[in-house]
A and B are shown apart, each in its own frame.
Chain A
Amino acid sequence: MEHTDSVRFFKRGPSPVVRLVFFSLLSLLLLFVDARYKYLESTRNVLATLVYPIQRLATLPATVWHEVDEFLVTQTGLIDENEQLRERHITDIAHLQQLRILQKENARLRKLLDVQQHSEYRLQLAEVIYVARDVFQRKVFVDKGSQAGIEAGQVVMDDNGIIGQVTRVYPWLSEITLVTDRDHAVPVQIARNGLRSIVFGAGDTGDLSLRYMPVNADIKEGDELVTSGIDGTYPPGVPVAMVTHIERDPAYPFARIVCSPVAGVNDQRFLLILSNERKLPPRPLAASEQPHGKGKQGRRKMLP
């Protein structure tokens, strides 16, 4: 280090140490601001737009490979697939017929009971462009962004179940946090008995875990977890995970329950983004805020 700037014949600007200190402080400042205040989202958007072409370039080989792969399908393969799809279509039609009747019946019953109607969710197909290259995070990026009307908070699923949630939106792409991301929570209930809970991502293993379930809770290995729809974000009744392992140790108040996601969280290329147009009535405000008069207004809105 001393050799570098002991004798300086030429002007080289500030020494490496000074530069390191300057840029480290700048990084720490940015880290602090980004982590605490989220002021930098617009800067991030601008930079993301700049970086976007390079990202597309990086995913080009994979895209070309898929295209070529799709182009070189044999005819027998196509006929087989067509046959399978036709069969599936026929069985699906039968199910759909029943579903329509049930839906109508359900709507009538709900009207009779004066319960709020379930609205239908609009779906948008998006393709995964690339996976965040950070080992710590379980995130993917898809090719639809705010230009296509995607908003942060929308739910993402595939044909089997919940994949995750849109967490950040750029003009042409959006970032999806997978359910397996650490501390990503989904409100669920057990399909067998309706027991409600919240499932969290494990983060490092690609599994999910049910925390804070008492040791004697009625839950078995192989139980299916579906969304409860209580939060208003996730539509009710969509499969999320399957219970794979339960450890009941009476020494601890809670059982250790490991679940694996039902959807192809790590290998799915095409995803469905749900637009949640159904808005829940505003949550009644906490008791401490009532003196301001806002609490009463909030409650009045909930009345029919």
Chain B
Amino acid sequence: MTILVTKDREFLLPASRTFIALSLLGALVLDWLPWSGIWLSLRPDFVALVLLYWCTHKPYRIGIGIAWAMGILADVADASLFGQHALAYAVLAFGGIVLHRRVQMFDLRQQTMQIFPLVLAAYAVYALVHWQLHGYIAWEYFSGSVTTTLLWAPLTLLLQALRRPHAENEL
């Protein structure tokens, strides 16, 4: 189905379970690099991006449940409350699944415009929970949603390239 509706009609290898798991693991590692200071607020949320990629390209393989589980892991690692990331990622995955046909029809620039609201919604959910519990919002937190969105195109290109068959198989 992906092959038929992708705009440039490229042929992609089926995503194996290991590949999906490895991409998520890689995203976790990137997220947990020692970011600090100004870089911390600008840090793109790689886990959110990879989850969104799989939710839009393989919506029946990676869904809200897996996004939620990744959120729980992120909660433990960040010492945030249980469910804070999980809720944000669940909302993100839902948005990705709802919009998956549209995103697959578009080119990268249009895709970027489409996913920005989704990422922003996930960030807003996280900030909202924090505001409810602690009573304040750090506005620079939202700058991370912009860098996350800007990285959508490079990340999509990278993952598509990894899923493409090797050169010697081409005619």
Contacts and interface: CB of A to CB of B under 8 A. Distances in A.
Interface of A: 1, 3-4, 12, 16-17, 19-20, 23-24, 26-31, 33-35, 40, 43-44, 47-48, 51, 54-55, 57-59, 61-62, 129-137, 139, 141, 168, 175, 182, 203-204, 266
B118 to A, nearest CB: 13
A58 B46 CA distance: 13
Given A54-B25, A266-B37, A16 B98 contact: yes
Nearest to B74: A133
A4 B73 contact: no
A58 B64 CA distance: 25
Given A131-B36, A136-B134, A136-B141, A31 B90 contact: no
Contacts of A57: 29
Given A19-B64, A133-B78, A134-B80, 16 more contacts: A19-B63, A31-B81, A31-B133, A34-B82, A35-B133, A44-B76, A48-B77, A51-B77, A54-B25, A54-B28, A54-B32, A58-B34, A133-B35, A136-B130, A203-B136, A266-B37
A136 to B, nearest CB: 5
Contacts of B134: 136, 182
B57 interface: no
> Which 4 pairs show the lowest CB-CB distances between chains A and B?
A30-B83, A27-B83, A58-B32, A27-B87
Interface residues of B, number: 49
Interface string B131-154: 001101010110010000000000
A268 to B, nearest CB: 12
A136 B138 contact: yes
Nearest to B131: A136
B98 A59 contact: no
A23 B133 contact: no
A3 B5 CA distance: 15
